[in-house]
Amino acid sequence: MRKPVSKKELAELTDKRMPVKLIDIRSADEYNKKHVPDTVNIPAEQLEHNMNCFAKDDVIVCICNHGKERSQQAAEYLFNSGFINTHYLVGGTSAWYEEPDNAPVVPIAIKPTYTLRQLVFYFLKLGYAGFGGPVALVGYMHRDLVEKNKWISEEEYKEGLALAQLAPGPLAAQLGIYLGFVHYGVIGATLCGLAFVIPSFIMVVLIGIAYKMYGGLPWMQAVFYGVGAAVIGIITMSSYKLTAKSVSKFKPGAIKKNWLLWFFYLVGAAITIITQREEVLLFVTAGLLYMIIKAPPRWMHKSKAVNSIFLLDIGFWSYDTSTLGKIAIFFTKAGAFVFGSGLAIVPFLHGGVVTENHWLTENQFLDAVAVAMITPGPVVITVGFIGYLVGGFPGACVAALATFLPCYLFTVIPAPYFKKIAKNTSIKAFVDGITAAVIGALVGSVIIIATRSIIDIPTALIAIASVLALIYVKKIQEPYIILVAAVIGLVLKTLL
């Protein structure tokens, strides 16, 4: 038996902009006497010949006089014909005109028009073939899941994007996890997240193996000579775009309006340059101060905010247990405090991996960022490459798990309650403050890395050319710039 819906439930679906079709299955005479607004009259005996009026993802509501046998049978017939979101109006037209406006609303559970297997395979494909960074990846999801396949509604997509922006962690991965959660809960979120991350994780581990085996050879050094300079140009442009998007435009009026965010931004950049390490306390402090000033919670001492829970010869199994522990702690901290786009994690990684723990050299770190650029999937997957260089395959697994687990939890735990959380101005202000400081730290890291990596005129020219290409060559993607820079580096080192 199909599920009955009330007048109030229909209003709720309309507010959600669901594709609802109201079908009056009575005769034309009955329909003309009185009918529910916006209904289409298709008598029950003519339904079979009017199937082309419906799409498989439409929410169809059958209506008769009193919502009894006729509408129930019609709804059952349409359901068995493949229209799985078919219902009937309880009480029919009689109840429609008698039901009070304050009748209770019981949400309707809309069945998905796709299987979990289809969605998991989609994210698997996106994980091994989705180039272009986080902005491109979230664009692909909208194009494929909302516009093309219509598996996800516009509202569901926007809610997922908002949550991904509010919570720490890689933007594209979090959106993918949320979209998996929408219709298939925790199982869907888990499988979609794994399908999205695993292909690129395997790629960076394979690159890490090759890097360890051949990293000392002149040809590979020549390749990364050009690549390292191009990365400086790419992350310079990324930091510029992140600043304009998350702090404010570079216009006097916008800067004046958001002067406090710019203050946190500049402080974050300055402290990163001076200390040459990431300061998590600074980011949290910036978030709290901005929240207190802009949108203080009503009862700060009784805050109801949700608590975030929060091959031996090639080095495949070359690791130290204590080092794995340090990797787990460091990358968990990085995954739990990075807001925004994938490259926002650079200052965290640089400060901990190069300056603090001395796991990688400056050039190796630049190579790790380059690996993130040339592989598909989430940019943050470069943590797997770094983890492999530090602790072999176990190190890669620990680094990836520690980085992505916080973002998974920060997505799945608040997902059922997100509509209320998203409206909390205090939480939004807290995130805005943290984001400004983090992006400032990213700019500071770019300056530090550039001073150590731009070692001669050719590398300076490659970095400048990379910036100009991103500005003036429309729709060019980072992997192409990295590839051209690698060829230039190989040619230069061969000739010079």
**Confidence at residue 110, expressed as pLDDT on a 0 to 100 scale:** 55
Q: What angle do CA 385, 220, 357 make, to 5 degrees?
A: 40
Q: 463 with 370: CB under 8 angstroms?
A: no
Per-residue pLDDT tens over the stretch 275-291: 766 566 777 788 788 88
Q: CA–CA separation, 140 vs 103, rounded Å? A: 41
- At residue 198 the predicted structure's pLDDT band, cuts being 50, 70 and 90, is very high
Domains, the chain, ranges and CATH? 4-98 (3.40.250.10), 214-495 (no CATH)
Contact 427, 166 (CB under 8 A): yes
Task: Quote the radius of gyration of the chain (alpha carbons, Å).
Answer: 27
What is the secondary structure of 137-164 as a DSSP string?
A: HHHHHIIIIIIIS--S-HHHHHHHHHHH
Q: What does each C-alpha distance from 350 to 8, 343, 347, 411, 460 come to in angstroms?
A: 54, 11, 5, 26, 21
Average pLDDT in the 471-476 region? 80
Round to whole Å and give the CA distance between 108 and 122.
Answer: 27
Query: What residues are paired with 4 via a beta bridge?
Result: 88
Question: In angstroms, rounded to a whole number, what is the distance separating the alpha carbons of residues 201 and 57?
Answer: 35
Mean pLDDT comparison of 260-274, 422-436, 466-480, highest-scoring range: 260-274
- The rounded distance, in Å, linking the Cα atoms of 366 and 360 is 10
Kind and range of the H or E element at 20? strand 20-24
Looking at residue 309, its pLDDT comes to 39
For the chain, give the number of residues: 496
Q: Is the dihedral of CA 107, 110, 115, 121 positive or negative?
A: negative
- Closest listed residue to residue 456, CA positions, set 126, 226, 124, 159: 226
Is residue 303 very low, low, confident or very high in pLDDT (cuts 50, 70, 90)? very low
Residue 179 has pLDDT above 90, yes or no: yes
Indicate the pTM of the whole model.
0.57
Tokens of 429: 């202000």
pLDDT category of residue 307 using cuts at 50, 70 and 90: very low
Handedness of CA 372, 373, 378, 380 (dihedral sign): positive
